[in-house]
Structure 1
């Protein structure tokens, strides 16, 4: 696991090597990040990184994530398009070889299905997170009436 000092040094090195510009702000570890590799804070110009990508088994993803966040950082400071949808962002990210999306390491959020509905005609099952109005919604296959089969707490 990389600590914050090593992370700061790595970000500064990648910034100089890939962008030819220094990184003059702070790189931190944010334990609250769950589904993303990192983020760039517009107001303070700090970079925050997900600690899951700082573990030994996921370290090979880290340079791509750092380059992604540094792309936001440098473009924003230069007054160019720093958002994901901007042309400047896409071109620079491709040029430096940063990752476009956060790699999936199996830690994404998954909602639990709480309700199970079943069609009374064709017996097709519909797992749902939220409760639905069975007088309003019908089976998509045959148009039959739905009924609540199971409610998990």
Structure 2
């Protein structure tokens, strides 16, 4: 696993190599980033990268995320379209080979997985509805046949 200093050097190298411009701000890992690979801050110009992406998908995918964030960085500093919807951003991203979207993390890779604990079962047609939180079956009806529902508590070993 890389530390923040190694990430800083990596981002500076990618910036010079692919954009021909220096990265003059701070790049850090942020372990709280789970739904996104990285982010760019328009006020401070700092970049944060998710270490979970590096662990799950390796250096090549992480470098594509770095290129994506550097596109935001350099375009913003040049007063050009740095947002995802802007043509300048899309064109530069394609030219440097950055990723448009990051891959979803697999279960357990930095994300807390909450198993289903309850199952509502229709008494008429047998339709099953999995739920993480307990609900009152008397307040709901089957979405398929409008039948009555009963609730079943799943064991932790049985839950997917």
TM tier, smaller: 0.7 to 0.9
Which aligned segments of 4 or more residues in structure 1 are displaced greater than 6 angstroms?
A: none
Q: Structure 2: how far apart are the matches of 1:98 and 1:26?
A: 20
Structure 2: gaps spanning 5 or more residues: none
Superimposed CA distance per residue, residues 15-51 of structure 1 (whole angstroms, 9 cap, x where no aligned partner):
1221222111111122222332221122211111122
Cα drift, residue 90 of structure 1 = 1.9
Aligned pairs for 1:77-96 (under 5 A) are: 77-96=77-96
Q: Structure 1: how far apart are the matches of 2:63 and 2:52?
A: 14
Report what 1:143 is aligned to: 146
Q: Structure 2: how far apart are the matches of 1:76 and 1:104?
A: 27
Cα drift, residue 2 of structure 1 = 2.2
RMSD over aligned Cα, in angstroms? 2.5
Alignment of 1:13 with 2:22, yes or no, is: no
Cα drift, residue 104 of structure 1 = 3.3
3-state SS of 2:35 partner: coil
Cα drift, residue 69 of structure 1 = 0.7
**What TM-score do you get using the length of structure 2 for normalisation?**
0.80
Structure 1: gaps spanning 5 or more residues: none
Q: Does the 8 Å contact 1:65/1:98 carry over to 2?
A: yes
Between the two proteins, the alignment pairs up a number of residues equal to 153
Report what 1:122 is aligned to: 125
Superimposed CA distance per residue, residues 88-135 of structure 1 (whole angstroms, 9 cap, x where no aligned partner):
222221111001112234124544323210101011110023444544
Q: Does the 8 Å contact 1:119/1:125 carry over to 2?
A: yes
Report what 2:42 is aligned to: 42
**What TM-score do you get using the length of structure 1 for normalisation?**
0.83
Q: Structure 2: how far apart are the matches of 1:101 and 1:50?
A: 13
Cα drift, residue 151 of structure 1 = 6.4
Report what 1:24 is aligned to: 24
